[in-house]
Amino acid sequence: MLGSVILLWVCIFLLFFLIQTRRPKKFPPGPQPLPIFGSLLQLNLENPMPDLERLSEKYGQVFSLYFGGRPAVILSGTAAIKEALVTKGVDFGGRPFGLLLNHLTHGKGVIMADYGPSWREHRRFALMTLKNFGLGKRSMEERILEETSYVSAYLEANAGKTIDPQTLFHNASCDIICSILFGSRYEYEHEFFQTMIKMMAENSKIANGPWGMVYDTMPLLRNLPLPFQRALRDYNTVKMYASGIVDEHRATRVPGEPRDVIDCYLDEMEKRGENCALFDDSQMLVLLLDLLFAGTDTTSNTIRYTVLCLMAYPEIQERCQQEIDSVLKGKMQASFEDRHKMPYTQAVIHESQRMSSTLPLSVFHCTTRDTELMGYHIPKGTLIIPNLSSVLYEEDKWKFPHEFNPANFLNEQGQLKKPEAFMPFSVGPRTCLGEGLARMELFLILVTLLRRFQFIWPEDVGEPDFSPVFGVTQAPRPYRMTVKLR
Ligand code: HEM
Ligand SMILES: *[C@@H]1O[C@H](CO)[C@@H](O)[C@H](O)[C@H]1NC(C)=O
Ligand SMILES: *[C@@H]1O[C@H](CO)[C@@H](O)[C@H](O)[C@H]1NC(C)=O
C-alpha cells in the first residue's frame, strides 16, 4: 500500500517536470531534456566542449539545451550570431537573471545589468570615460606605458632566466585598470591588490566550475555552506575596500578635474543632481568591480597567448621586431598612433586574438521579448549563448581557419584587413565596451616588450601546447619562457 502511494507520487513528480521541460512550439531542436537536470547529465561538466561540439554538429547553427528547467539556445556561425546580436540587437540584448553572477551584482553596473535605462546610461558613461582623454590630464596611453615599464624592469631583472609569465601579465593588466579606476597603480605586494587578485581568481574558478552550475540550476541548494558562499563573501570584501577608496576621493577631489573613473562618476552624479535615481554609490561600486573583472583576465590571457605564438613561430617574432625597430627608430617609446605603420605586427595581434578566443561563449545573453531567429520561435527570457569560437574558426570565413597565420589579416598589399568574422569582442549593442582600451593595451605592451626582449621557448620542455584550459575565459596552459635582452 505505502509502496504504491510512493510510486504514485514519484510518477506525479516526474510527470510535472517532464511537462515543465517540454519544448515550446517551433523552439530550436536539441537533445530531449531530463526532469530536474535538463541536459546537464548529458554533458561532461569538467570540459563540456567536446560534447557541445557533437551537439552543434548534429543540430546546426541554432540549437537548444536545458540547464535544469531553464531553456538555453546556442548560436554558432556568423550568420546566426549577426542576425541575433546585430539585426535583432534589442530582442537579444538582455542578460539572464537568477545566476550566481546576478547575485553578486544585484543587476547593477553594466555586465550583468538587464537591457534598460540603467544599463544604457552606465554603458554610455563608461564608454565616454574610457576614451583616451575622458579621464582628464593623464591619458590612457600614459597609464599603460607606465605599467609596461614595471613589466620591462621585471623581465630585465630576469634576463637569461626561464620564467612563468602568468602572474606578471595578470598583475600588469589588473594594475592598468586600477590606475584608470582608482587613480594609481598598486605595488604587486600591496594588501588590497593581493586580495583583489585572489578574489578574482577564486571567483572565476567557482563561477566557471561545477559549483557555479549547481548554484545556477538548483536554487534549493543555495543556502548551504558550499563554495559559492565564499564567492559572495570575497566579492563583498573587495567592494567594501573600494567603498573606502570612494570616500577618500570624495574628500580630496576637485570637481571638474577628474583623476580617474571614480572622480568622473562623482562629477556625473553632481551634474545629474539629487533626483537622478540611476547614478548612486551602489551602482558605482558594481561598475568599478565590473570593469576590474572584465578587464583583467581577458587582456592578460590574450597577451600570454600571443607570447606563446611568438615563441612557437620565431620567424614571425623576428619579422615583428624588424617592423617595430624601423618604425620606432629614434623614438623613446611607442605610441598607439604608430599602429597604422605596423600592419604586420597588428595582424599578428589580431591573429592571436582570433586563435585564443578568450571568451569562447561571450557573456550569456537573454531575450528581452518573444522573437524569431532563422525560422525558430524564441520566447522572452530564453538564455542565449553565442559561440564566438565557432565564428573565429569558421571554415569559409578565413584563409587559414585552423592554423596560426597572420595572413588571415593581411591583403595582397600587406595592409591590415579585418574580416567580418573577427568578433572576439562580440557584436551589437552589448559588444565589449573595453575594446578600445584592450586594443591599446595589447599593442603598447607587446610592441614595447618585443622591442627590448626576445622570447624563446625553452629547449627541454617539449613542443608548445596550444590546447586551452576551459573556463568562462579560455586561457592557455601555464608555460615557461626564456627571456633574452636584444
Ligand atoms: C582582450 C580583451 C577583452 C576581450 C576579448 C573582451 C571580450 C568581451 C566580450 C566577448 C564581451 C561580451 C559581449 C556580449 O555580451 O555580447 C565583453 C563585455 C564587456 N567587456 Fe570586454 N573584453 C576584453 C577587455 C575588456 C576591458 C579591458 C574592459 C574594461 C575595462 C572590458 C569591459 C567589458 C564590459 C563592461 C562588458 C559588458 C558590456 C555590456 O554588457 O554592455 N572588456 N567583453
Ligand atoms: C563552439 O564552437 C567551437 C568551434 O566550432 C566548438 O569546438 C565548440 O564545441 C562549440 N561550443 C558550443 C557550446 O557549441
Ligand atoms: C603578482 O601579484 C601577486 C599578488 O600580489 C604576487 O604574489 C606575485 O608575486 C606578483 N607577480 C609578479 C611577477 O610580480
Q: Which of 42-56, 183-197, 358-372 has the lowest mean pLDDT?
A: 42-56
CA angle in degrees (0–180, nearest 5) for 464-465-468? 145
What pLDDT is recorded for position 35? 66
What pLDDT is recorded for position 447? 98
- The tens digit of pLDDT for each residue in 355-365 reads 999 999 899 99
Q: Is 194 in the pocket of ligand 3 (CB under 6 A)?
A: yes
Nearest one of 404, 407, 411, 417 to 354, comparing CA atoms: 404
What pLDDT is recorded for position 475? 87
Mean pLDDT of 176-203: 90
Q: Which atom of ligand 3 is nearest to the CA of 198?
A: 4
Q: Is 290 in the pocket of ligand 1 (CB under 6 A)?
A: yes
**Residue 359, exposed/middle/buried by CB under 10 A (0-12, 13-18, 19+)?**
buried
42 vs 58, residue with greater confidence: 58
What pLDDT is recorded for position 449? 98
Q: Which atom of ligand 3 is nearest to the CA of 190?
A: 5
**Residue 381, exposed/middle/buried by CB under 10 A (0-12, 13-18, 19+)?**
middle
Q: Take residue 154 and report the three cell numbers written for it.
A: 621585471
Q: Is 352 in the pocket of ligand 3 (CB under 6 A)?
A: no
Residue 20 has pLDDT above 60, yes or no: no
Residue 239 has pLDDT above 70, yes or no: yes
Pick the CATH number of 19-485 from 1.10.8.60, 3.40.190.10, 1.20.1270.10, 1.10.630.10: 1.10.630.10
Mean pLDDT of 375-383: 95
* pTM, to two decimals: 0.92
- The tens digit of pLDDT for each residue in 309-341 reads 999 999 999 999 999 999 999 999 999 999 999
Judged by its nearest atom, the ligand closest to the C-alpha of residue 192 is 3
What pLDDT is recorded for position 2? 60
Confidence of residue 395 (pLDDT cuts 50, 70, 90): very high
Residue 302 CA to ligand 3 centre (angstroms): 18
Nearest one of 366, 360, 431, 423 to 397, comparing CA atoms: 423
- Spell out the residues 6+ positions from residue 122 whose beta carbon is closer than 8 angstroms to its own: 109, 110, 113, 278, 279, 283, 287
Q: State the residue for C-alpha cell 505505502.
A: 2
Q: What are phi and psi of 190, to 5 degrees?
A: -55, 140
What pLDDT is recorded for position 58? 84
What pLDDT is recorded for position 387? 94
Contact 351, 75 (CB under 8 A): no
What pLDDT is recorded for position 409? 98
Q: Which of 49-53, 106-110, 269-273, 440-444 has the lowest mean pLDDT?
A: 49-53
Residue 371 has pLDDT above 90, yes or no: yes
Strands (E) located in 206-284: none
> What is the percent of the chain with per-residue pLDDT over 90, rounded to a whole number?
67
136 vs 435, residue with greater confidence: 435
Strands (E) located in 335-391: 365-366, 371-373, 376-378, 383-387
Confidence of residue 201 (pLDDT cuts 50, 70, 90): confident
> What is the percent of the chain with per-residue pLDDT over 70, rounded to a whole number?
87
Judged by its nearest atom, the ligand closest to the C-alpha of residue 52 is 2
Residue 438 has pLDDT above 70, yes or no: yes
Confidence of residue 10 (pLDDT cuts 50, 70, 90): low
- The tens digit of pLDDT for each residue in 75-109 reads 999 999 999 999 999 999 999 887 777 778 888 99
Distance from C-alpha of 270 to C-alpha of 279, rounded to nearest angstrom: 10
Residue 220 has pLDDT above 80, yes or no: no
How do strand 371-373 and strand 468-469 relate by DSSP bridges? unpaired
Q: Is 357 in the pocket of ligand 2 (CB under 6 A)?
A: no
Residue 424 CA to ligand 1 centre (angstroms): 9
The CA radius of gyration of the chain, in Å to the nearest whole number, is 24
Distance from C-alpha of 144 to C-alpha of 453, rounded to nearest angstrom: 18
What pLDDT is recorded for position 130? 93
Counting every residue, how long is the chain? 486
| Mean pLDDT estimate for the chain | 89
What pLDDT is recorded for position 219? 67
